[in-house]
Amino acid sequence: MEILNFENVRLEFDGALASLVLADADRLNALSPDMVEGVQAALREIAKPRRGVRCLMVTGEGRGFCAGANLSRRRTEASEGKPSSAGSAVESIFHPMIRKLRDVEVPVVAAVNGACVGIGVSIALLADYVIAADKAYFLVPFRNLASSTDSGLTWLLPRAIGPARARQLVMRAERLPAETALQWGMINEVAPVEGFAGAARKVAQEFADGPTVALGLMRRLVQDSATTGLDAHMEAEARGVLKTSRTQDNATAIKAFGSKAPVTFVGS
């Protein structure tokens, strides 16, 4: 295993699986600007072809997945009577990271090991598969901060759970337990906190062993479906079919289709 360390961010490479670990456990992995830079650097590393990454798993160290944005700078500004830098930070720091995570070209698994708050919820919702520990919870706290939402939350949440439930979470700042999130269709799986890391890794490894080109195209098509018309979407699907038809994985799967022979995908 190869490990790269950034500012409170750890990137682990184990074969075709890359794990991006938010690593500021004392603050439940609340994102500071320096941490966001670390995430950006990690995502750039993952995108390098020489890495051969076929799945990205995002998780947190310790008891939390991500406790939202680190507000220490804003608290200092407020106590000193200075103008808030929140607006510029959202546009120049946090939103570029969200876009970069959205644009990852391989399957993304979010392993929500604990508290998932604010921008942490956006990170989880950008994944293709979300597995959460049974002790985890989701919280959109902006109401309690008298602040509007950011990080795409009011775009992502209605598409995941519908507008009524999205309004409930956003406008009442209610804590949503993992089991309820599963019932609402917000996440895919709940696993016991004991042994959670192993359960999450098993899911991520299944994606890493899959037909990477096809899965990456499916990821993009599902994302784009919210904003494209049917005709344009079918054209994009047709381009995807053409692209995957030229892959080794497609040829192997077609040959094995209808038989019980196991298929080993190589990701190309």
185 is a domain residue: yes
Closest CA to 268 of 242, 256, 253, 250: 250
Instruction: Answer whether residue 268 is part of any domain.
Output: no
Regarding whether 124 and 240 lie in a shared domain, the answer is no
**Dist CA 144 CA 11 (whole Å):** 33
Separation CA 214–CA 46 (nearest Å): 18
Angle, nearest 10°, between helix axes 248-256 and 212-224? 100
CATH number of the domain residue 100 falls in: 3.90.226.10
- 216-245 pLDDT, tens per residue? 999 999 999 988 999 999 999 999 999 999
Q: DSSP letters of 121-149? A: HHHHHTSSEEEEETT-EEE--GGGGT---
What amino acid is encoded at 72 in this protein? S
Edge-to-edge, what's the strand order for the sheet holding 64-67?
Answer: 64-67, 115-117, 137-139, 176-177
| 3-state DSSP assignment of residue 38 | helix
Residue 264 lies in a domain: no
pTM of the model: 0.92
For the segment 1-14, what is each residue's pLDDT rounded down to a tens digit? 899 999 999 999 99
CB contact at 8 A, 123 and 110: yes
Residue 62 in domain: yes
- Structural domain range at position 61: 2-208
Pair 121, 221 in one domain? no
Q: Using alpha carbons only, how large is the chain's radius of gyration in Å?
A: 19
pLDDT, tens digit, 9 for 90 and up, residues 170-215: 999 999 999 999 999 999 999 999 999 999 999 999 999 999 999 9
Whether 16 maps to a domain, the answer reads yes
Of the residues 170, 190, 208, the one at which a domain ends? 208
Q: Which of 174, 189, 208 is the last residue of a domain?
A: 208
Q: What are 109-121's pLDDT values in tens digits? A: 999 999 999 999 9
Residue 49 DSSP symbol: G
Return the number of other C-beta atoms located less than 10 Å from residue 139's C-beta: 19
Q: Are residues 196 and 229 in the same domain?
A: no
End residue of a domain, out of 172, 191, 208 = 208
Q: Are residues 144 and 217 part of one domain? A: no
Rounded Cα distance between 24 and 31, Å, is 8
Residues 46 and 24 in one domain: yes
Same domain, 17 and 146: yes
Predicted confidence (pLDDT) per residue in 54-103, tens digit? 999 999 999 999 999 987 655 444 444 444 445 578 888 999 999 999 99
Question: Any residues with CB less than 8 A from the CB of 195 and at least 6 apart, and which?
Answer: none
Q: Are residues 105 and 27 in the same domain?
A: yes
Same domain, 175 and 232: no
Identify whether residues 56 and 146 lie together within a single domain: yes
Q: Tell me how many domains the chain contains.
A: 2
SS3 content of the chain, % helix, strand, coil (to 5): 50, 20, 30
Same structural domain, 97 and 127: yes
Residue 10 placed within a domain? yes
Identify whether residues 186 and 95 lie together within a single domain: yes
Task: Report how far residue 167's alpha carbon sits from residue 109's, in angstroms, rounded to the nearest whole number.
Answer: 25
Whether 265 is in a domain gets the answer: no
What own/partner pairs with CB < 8 Å and gap ≥ 24 does 185-190 have?
185/160, 185/161, 186/125, 186/130, 186/138, 186/160, 186/161, 187/112, 187/124, 187/130, 187/131, 187/132, 188/129, 188/130, 188/131, 189/129, 189/130, 189/131, 189/132, 190/131, 190/132, 190/133, 190/134
- 37 and 149 part of one domain: yes
- Residue 261 resides in a domain: no
